Amino acid sequence: MIVWLAIGLTAAGCYLLKLVGLLVPAGALERPLVQRLAALLPVALLAALTAQQTFSTDSALVVDARAAGLAAAALALVLRAPFLVVVAAAVAVTAGVRALGG
């Protein structure tokens, strides 16, 4: 039931965000500070989520095979690999390190 509540809230919230952009008059969201903040908010959230989902198990900080997987993804990104290769590299390296007992 709790999961359905979270799904309902997220679906409603994310839909309203999409709709509001199409409905508000142009110019309402065009103030430079609002634009800057809107561009930086995903940067902060994605960076924090990447770190948390790599370096934690529940509420404990850990370094395990996922760290190697993320390093592989970062290397793939530096080499300008396509999205598919980036994710596949992370998955394959994580699985490989675990198979070796890491």
Tokens standing for 13?
Answer: 């919230």
Based on the shown chain and the rule CB under 8 A, indicate whether residue 100 belongs to the binding site for another protein.
Answer: no
Q: Among residues 31, 37, 63, 79, which is the contact residue for another protein, using CB under 8 A?
A: 37
- Provide the b/e sequence for 13-42 (b: ≥16 CB within 10 Å): eeeeeeeeeeeeeeeeeeeeeeeeeeeeee
Q: Which of residues 2-21 bind another protein (CB under 8 A)?
A: 2-7, 9-11, 13-15, 17-21
Supply the minimum distance, in Å, between the C-beta of residue 76 and another protein. 9
Under the criterion CB under 8 A, does residue 102 sit at the interface with another protein? no
43 sits near another protein (criterion: CB under 8 A): yes
One-letter amino acid for residue 34 of the chain: V
**Is 75 a residue that touches another protein (CB under 8 A)?**
no
Contact (CB, 8 A) for 97 and 69: yes
CB 35, CB 29: distance < 8 Å: yes
Q: What single letter denotes the amino acid at residue 27?
A: G
Asked if 23 interacts with another protein (CB under 8 A), we say yes
Contacts with another protein by CB under 8 A: the residue count is 73
Rounded to a whole number of angstroms, the minimum distance from the CB of residue 32 to another protein is: 11
